[in-house]
Amino acid sequence: MRATAALRVELAADGRNVVRELRSQPPITLIPRRGVVSAAGGPAVVHLVGSATSPMGGDRVDLRVHVGAGAALRLSGTAATVALPGQRAGHSHATVRIEVEAGETVEYLPEATVVSARADHRADMRVELAEHARARCREVLVLGRYGENPGVLTTSTHVVRAGTPLLRQRLDIGEHRLAGSAGYLAGARVLATETVVWDHDPAAPAGGEWWSLAPLARGGALATSVAADAVTAQRGLAEALGHHPDAEVLTREVW
H-run or E-run covering 48: strand 44-50
Average pLDDT over the chain, rounded to whole?
A: 90
Instruction: Determine, yes or no, domain membership for 214.
Output: yes
Q: For the segment 112-147, what is each residue's pLDDT rounded down to a tens digit?
A: 999 998 899 999 999 999 999 999 999 999 998 988
- In this predicted structure, the answer to whether residue 57 has a pLDDT above a threshold of 70 is yes
For residue 255, tell me if it sits in a domain: no
Alpha helices in the chain (DSSP H): 34-37, 176-179, 230-241, 247-250
pTM for this one? 0.92
- Tens-place pLDDT, residues 194-213: 999 999 999 999 999 999 99
Rounded average pLDDT over 24-53: 80
Average pLDDT over residues 77-89: 86
176 band by pLDDT with thresholds 50, 70 and 90 = low
219-239, pLDDT tens digit by residue?
Answer: 999 999 999 999 999 999 999
Closest CA to 71 of 13, 150, 9, 145: 9
**Domain encompassing residue 98:** 2-250
Q: How many folded domains does the chain comprise? A: 1
Mean pLDDT for the stretch of residues 84-111: 91
**Dihedral sign from CA coordinates of 25, 29, 34, 37:** negative
